[in-house]
Amino acid sequence: MLNPLQLLVPCPSLRRPMAAAVVAVVASVLVVSTSVPSAQQTPAHLNPAIEKLAGGHPLFGVQTSDLSMVNARAMARVETDFVYVDMEHAPLNMEGLAVFVAAMNDKAYTIKQGNAQPQSALFARFPPYASDNAGWIVKQALDIGIMGFIFNTVETKEQALFAVRNMRYPAWKGRPYTGPIGMRGWSPGGALWAWGIGADEYRRRADVWPLNPEGDLLSILMIETVEGVKNVDEIASVPGVSILHAAAGGDLSSSLGVPNNTPPVEAARQTILKACLTHNVVCSISVSGKEQIDRRLKEGWRMIRTASGTPEQ
10 preceded by a cis bond (ω within 30 of 0):
no
CA nearest 248: which of 237, 257, 260? 260
Q: Exposed (0-12), middle (13-18) or buried (19+): which is 192, by Cβ within 10 Å?
A: middle
In this prediction, residue 122 carries a pLDDT of: 98
CATH, domain 45-305, list 3.40.50.300, 3.20.20.60, 3.40.47.10, 3.90.1570.10 = 3.20.20.60
pLDDT tens per residue, range 8-62:
444 444 444 444 444 444 344 333 333 344 445 678 899 999 999 999 999 999 9
Give the integer Cα–Cα distance in Å for 71 and 103.
9
60 in Cβ contact with 306 (< 8 Å): yes
176 in Cβ contact with 204 (< 8 Å): no
E strand or H helix at 228, and its extent? Answer: helix 226-230
pLDDT tens per residue, range 180-191:
999 999 999 999
Give the integer Cα–Cα distance in Å for 84 and 122.
6
The Cβ of residue 79 has, within 10 Å, a number of other Cβ atoms equal to 10
The Cβ of residue 84 has, within 10 Å, a number of other Cβ atoms equal to 25
| Phi–psi pair at 217, nearest 5 degrees | -115, 145
Higher model confidence: residue 140 or residue 12? 140
In this prediction, residue 249 carries a pLDDT of: 67
Higher model confidence: residue 203 or residue 42? 203
Q: CA-CA distances (angstroms) from residue 229 to 48, 166, 266, 274, 282? A: 29, 23, 12, 11, 16
Question: Mean pLDDT lowest for which of 12-16, 83-87, 201-205, 282-286?
Answer: 12-16
Mean pLDDT of all residues in 195-212:
96
Residue 116 has pLDDT above 70, yes or no: yes
Q: What are the DSSP calls for 255-308, one per residue?
A: HHTS-SSSHHHHHHHHHHHHHHHHHT-EEEEE--SHHHHHHHHHHT--EEE-SS
Q: For the chain, give the mean pLDDT.
A: 87
Mean pLDDT of all residues in 84-97:
95
Residue 95 has pLDDT above 90, yes or no: yes
E strand or H helix at 140, and its extent? Answer: helix 135-144
Domain ranges of the chain: 4-34, 45-305
pLDDT grade, residue 148 (50/70/90)? Answer: very high
| Phi–psi pair at 68, nearest 5 degrees | -70, 155
